[in-house]
A = this chain, B = another copy of it.
Amino acid sequence: MTRTTGKASPISAVAERAGVSVSTVSRVMNGHATVDRAIADRVRAAAAALNYAPNPLARSLVMGRTTTVAVLVPDLGNPTFQSMLQGVSRAAARDGYRILVADSAETISEEGILAVEMRRRCDAIVLCAPRMPAALLADLLPELMPAVLINRPAAVGLAPTVTADYEAGIRPLVEHLYALGHRTLAYLQGKPESASNAARLRGLAAFCEAHPDAELLTVDGGTAFEDGHRAAADLAGSRFTAVLAFNDLVAMGLLSGLAELGVRVPEDLSVTGFDDIPLARYTTPPLTTASVPVLELGEQAWRRLHSLIVNETPADDVDYRPHLEVRRSTAPPATPRSRT
């Protein structure tokens, strides 16, 4: 009648089979206190025979911890957030934690509700919500703690934060173009309400101030391939000699659109991306971009969250400065025809 598989047997079954109390089984399973060697062996044998494993739910309830954390990202379809998730997931796995994941894209208006609901099922939360209004975030955070923020530089002080410095990061990119000789530039912006778009704009504003001879225009783009692809037509015939795309995805869409239109990159037009997603180095031509260590961002988020969970003071906030990755989508502008 010994079934080595089947539905989970409760601790009481093990206790009964071993002829001891549940307390003793619990003690054995958790390696607690000193329990007589012979009895412990009997318990272990019984547990093995019944294929016993403690019910994690019951365990969580009584212990007040789930060894699970939530990760909320705005779009599971975006390589950047995918990598963040992967970074958190891997790091957390090493510490024996599981990930509860949610994609807020579907329910942008109820992002807050979603976050709270997720949070209550686990021990802590990593919040990547670039477009959540600051006020809402501030309201929410007390309910969410322990929490770590990704890419919410404005919220520094509210919770441990890991960020990429998009403002500083775009500077080398645009300076690179300037150094190549570009003076008429376009910035194909992302969603205007996004914090990181604002940061890029600040960085670009600083650039303009430093180089009054350069002209930089912001044009509406988006955050996805399609947005870049769509923008190609407008940009192809324009007077711009270089365009900074909001991110790599948009840049790739643009690259593809331009190729279809017969515009040569970088000969006719230089293009830059942002993020350095894995595919950026495999585009044609390989994309000049600002490299953001997203996996690292996820890992560092986990480190801080873990500290909070075990009641240590987390490491200081970290702000990754993206580094310029020069590839082949940028080159000096063609000799202006006006010279002719």
> Which residues in A have some Cβ–Cβ distance to B below 8 Å?
5-6, 8, 53, 55-58, 60-61, 66, 68, 76-77, 79, 82-83, 85-86, 89-90, 93-94, 98-103, 106-107, 118, 120-121, 142-143, 225, 229, 252-253, 255-256, 259, 278-279, 281-286
Contacts and interface: CB of A to CB of B under 8 A. Distances in A.
Given A61-B61, A90-B103, A103-B90, A56 B121 contact: yes
Contact of A106 (B76, B90, B252, B279): B90
Number of copies: 2
A89 B76 contact: yes
- State the main secondary structure of chain A at its contact with B: helix
Contacts of A94: 106
Contacts of A103: 86, 89-90, 93
Given A5-B142, A143-B5, A282 B121 contact: no
A93 B106 contact: yes
A291 to B, nearest CB: 16
Contacts of A259: 284-285
A56 B120 contact: yes
Tell which of A76, A85, A107, A256 has the most Cβ of chain B within 10 Å: A76
Contact of A83 (B77, B86, B89, B99): B77
A98 B183 CA distance: 50
A48 to B, nearest CB: 15
Given A57-B57, A60-B57, A100 B68 contact: yes
Contacts of A225: 278-279, 282
Contacts of A5: 142-143
B61 A58 contact: yes
A57 B53 contact: no
Given A76-B85, A142-B5, A252-B279, A98 B98 contact: no
A109 to B, nearest CB: 14
A284 B271 CA distance: 15
A60 B93 CA distance: 24
